Amino acid sequence: MAWNAWGDPRERTPLSERTRSVLEAVLGIPTHEQPTTGDDAVRLHRSRLTDRRRHGLETIVGTEHLSTDDEVRTQFLGGKSTLDLLARRSGSIQNAPDAVAFPADAEEVEALLRYCSEESIAVVPFGGGTSVVGGVEPLREWFDTVVTISMRRLCAMTDLDEVSRTATLQAGVTGPQAEEMLTRHGLSLGHYPQSFEYASIGGFAATRSSGQASSGYGRFDDMVESVTVATPIGITHCGRAPASAAGPDLREVFLGSEGALGIITSVTVKVHPIPASTEHRSWWFPTFAAGSAAFRELAVDAGRPTVMRLSDEAETGVNSALALGDNGDAPTGGCIAVATFDGVPAETAARAAAADATVLRAGGTVVDPEHARRWEHGRFDSPYLRDALLDAGAVAETLETATSWADLDRVRGEVVAALVDSLTASGTPPLVMCHISHVYATGASLYFTVVCAAAGDPAAQWTRAKEAATTAMATAGATITHHHAVGRDHRPWMAEEVGSVGVAMLRAMKSAVDPAGVLNPGKLIP
């Protein structure tokens, strides 16, 4: 990806005139292009890796697989949150790792961690670099040197059990690579987060990623059969059978551990046959509450959709405006939901018809499925739009939580209020949109998209707003993150999330596997 933007630079497109007019009409933003930082303008701190330490690392991975070149270090500055991108556009000296190592296998990762632990060198694991919570930023904390370990060379499928329908993928395999490997055997993983095009298998596991088809195939942690993890004290393999009563499930120690307890080097996942057909559905609801009620019923239905997404009134209105007002046969206003059903044709048609009946009972309407097809066609494009908004003088960012069905409306209202109050106080009243895209028997996620004019210090402006929103989530009893993970940004709220006993347990595990504290410092562990 581009060092200072999301994705492939060739895919970037400026805002359309229609989008600019919507920004000006809704938010009063007279859009104008902001100067961007070119590759020739990036400035990095000089590498602090000593010759002796360089030699020690090269002994493990080879001279050709360790780099202190600025061109390489620039590609590993961290993730892709709005705060990350604002920092890279600022023209200030960038916080780069002192070196980047490219190990070939789990044994080399372990050797690197052992050496870095002995030398007190901070280590940051790096998969696709798609974190939006500061999860892969090369923080030094109290260390004088930080090395990023890229999983790029761990990019193979090392085992496929077509009888049990499991595949073992190395941590550096990206979403598209995984699907390409499995497609050759008529199989699919079916994990499609918005970061799908660039994020890695190891990153999916380390952050408890949740894909857009989670209603049908589950979150990524639901797909995991076993993990292999390298730590400074050795390599561990967790997960030996589909289920076990042999004490606590140690897979759960590393799923969501964000590289703070070890580096995941491979994951064995459940796979399924490529669906023979996909049925698309679009539904309209007069209110978000009516749509939520229908989704609550669908969540416990054995034939529920593979994909379920309900946009609130604000998101529905903006999407309609950006689509030149093309709302198909849906009534004006209200909320649009989209769904897909994977399977064999007769089965998907029957499941879709049953879901339609649920929607009608909840006061909804079945409308043109083109809404669902349009969403599916552009579902990985939103980060590019965020970059274009930054270029035009707006701030755009997302944040998410999850809560019970009983508390859904209250949590949504309190988070929206916190964002509106904070950003209005900055003189930049926002547009706050929300959707449900992951459902459970007992509750659902809430995913917020925020757009407003950029203040004089947009980083401070967004930091205050994010702090207000996260505090509102925690106070309301919701989780501080549903699938973005903790990283650096959510760490201040972790003690409240897990409690004092949870903090003690996390610190004890950290001390046991990482006695020198070199693994991804400044992240996750309170």
Phi, psi of 393 (to 5 degrees): 95, 15
Domain boundaries, the chain: 9-14+34-150, 157-273, 277-377, 382-484
| Residue 397: both structure tokens together | 């960012």
Q: Give the count of alpha carbons within 13 A of 211, CB side only.
A: 25
What is the predicted pLDDT for the residue at 24? 85
Residue type at position 131: S
CA dist 346 → 84, 369, 375, 405 (Å): 47, 18, 24, 32
Domains 9-14+34-150 and 382-484 share a fold: no
What is the predicted pLDDT for the residue at 319? 87
- pTM recorded for the entire structure: 0.95
> What element of type H or E holds 353?
helix 345-361
Mean pLDDT by groups of 10 residues along the chain of 526 residues: 91 85 82 64 92 98 98 96 94 94 98 98 98 96 96 98 98 98 98 97 98 96 98 97 94 97 98 97 97 97 95 93 65 92 95 97 95 92 91 94 98 98 96 97 98 95 98 98 98 98 98 98 97
Quote the CA–CA distance of 187 and 457 in Å, as a whole number. Answer: 48
Q: Distance from CA of residue 243 to its chain's centroid?
A: 27
Residues contacting residue 17 through CB under 8 Å, at least 6 positions apart: none
Do the beta carbons of residue 290 and residue 363 sit within 8 Å? yes
157-273: which CATH topology?
3.30.465
β-pair type (122-126, 146-150): parallel
| Residue 365: both structure tokens together | 């309407």
Three-state DSSP class for residue 383: helix
Q: Distance from CA of residue 236 to its chain's centroid?
A: 26
Positive or negative torsion for Cα 317, 31, 379, 297: negative
Alpha-carbon Rg for the chain, nearest whole angstrom, is 23
Three-state DSSP class for residue 512: helix
Phi, psi of 397 (to 5 degrees): -155, 165
CATH architecture of 9-14+34-150: 2-Layer Sandwich (3.30)
Quote the CA–CA distance of 208 and 482 in Å, as a whole number. Answer: 9
CATH architecture of 382-484: 2-Layer Sandwich (3.30)
Task: Dump pLDDT digits (tens) for 341-383.
Answer: 999 999 999 999 999 999 999 999 999 999 999 999 989 988 9
Q: In CATH, what number does 277-377 get?
A: 3.30.70.3450
The partner residues of 519 in beta bridges, in order of sequence, read 123
Tell me the residue ranges of DSSP E strands in 208-295. Answer: 224-231, 234-238, 263-270, 272-273, 277-285
Three-state DSSP class for residue 216: helix
CA dist 462 → 33, 122, 453 (Å): 20, 28, 11
